[in-house]
Structure 1
Amino acid sequence: MNTIVAPTVGDTAQRTFGPLTLTDIVRYAGASGDFNPLHHDEEAAKAAGFAGIFSIGMFTAALVGTFATDWLGAESIRRITTRFKEQVWPGDTLTVSGTVTAVRPADGGSTVEVELACTRDRGGAAVAGSAEFFIRTV
């Protein structure tokens, strides 16, 4: 486990993903085994009442998780939660951001709580979430 200086309350970070492509969505479907036609078949998506193909929710959640662990360390994560708020479409660019909301001393380090958000460039919040990390400190 890496040793770093613990973040402080109010620290922020962000990362942009995209624009997302149909290929990105289909590649995630292959990796996850989620082959729901709403995520790769335009006719099926429209027949179900949608404007077209849209992203798998867990793909967006995975991007949130990637951001969080790249920021504060995959070896440090203890839990992550996500709540889907809005669909993500091919062509969307997503901005994932995090804000440190609490830092508590813990044996050999700090427990760090983070609020997470994923927004679409065309408006709207796609995912809200939170994470908890244990950061071994110097």
Structure 2
Amino acid sequence: MAATVKYDEVEVGQELPAVDYQVRRVNLVMYAGASGDFNPIHWNERFAKTVGLPDVIAHGMFTMAQGGRFVTDWAGDPGAVVDYGVRFSSMVVVPDDDTGATLTVSGVVEEKLEDKRVVIGLTAKTGDTRVLSKARAIVQLV
């Protein structure tokens, strides 16, 4: 875990370096078990294609969770995120190969609030496709 980020050391416009998260089918199966979401579009290629999808897709909430992970890793405190929301703008297609999909998450400090809180705007993409939009987290710093 990173060192805890201090409010006084953060500036509006500061970029949070991008992090790549590999998403493999095994991750989706594990997430299905943890979440109880066993929809076959998340693990069965034949079924996913039957319903018109290009392949198996990641759970939206799994994708959202990677954004949350990005912010908590940056802040250095898993309890630092006090508000978090996204809109799902595209799917994360996960091929059945050794690499799966790459989800790239980056961020920028958009605003400094009172009480040592900051607003982080997030960008999450697979390739050139943005998969989360209006992704924002309010983070309590020290």
TM-score by length of structure 2 reads 0.85
Q: Distance in 2 between matches of 1:111 and 1:29?
A: 33
User: Which runs of 5 or more residues in structure 2 are unaligned?
Assistant: 95-99
Partner of 1:92: 101
Instruction: Confirm or deny that 1:131 pairs with 2:137.
Output: yes
Answer with 3-12 or 110-119: which moved more: 3-12
Give the structure-1-normalised TM-score.
0.87
Correspondence list, 1:51-70, <5 A: 51-70=54-73
Q: Detail structure 1 runs of 4+ shifted over 6 Å in the superposition.
A: none
Match of 1:101 in 2: 110
Q: Structure 1 residues 53 and 4 mapped into 2: Cα distance closer, same or farther (>3 Å)? A: closer
Offset of 1:105 from its aligned partner?
Answer: 3.2
Gaps in structure 1 of 5+ consecutive residues: none
1:118 aligns with 2:124: yes
| Count of aligned pairs between the two proteins | 130
- Give distance in 1, aligned partners of 2:6 and 2:53: 47
Name the Cα RMSD after superposition. Answer: 1.5
Quick one: distance in 2 between partners of 1:114 and 1:9?
A: 9
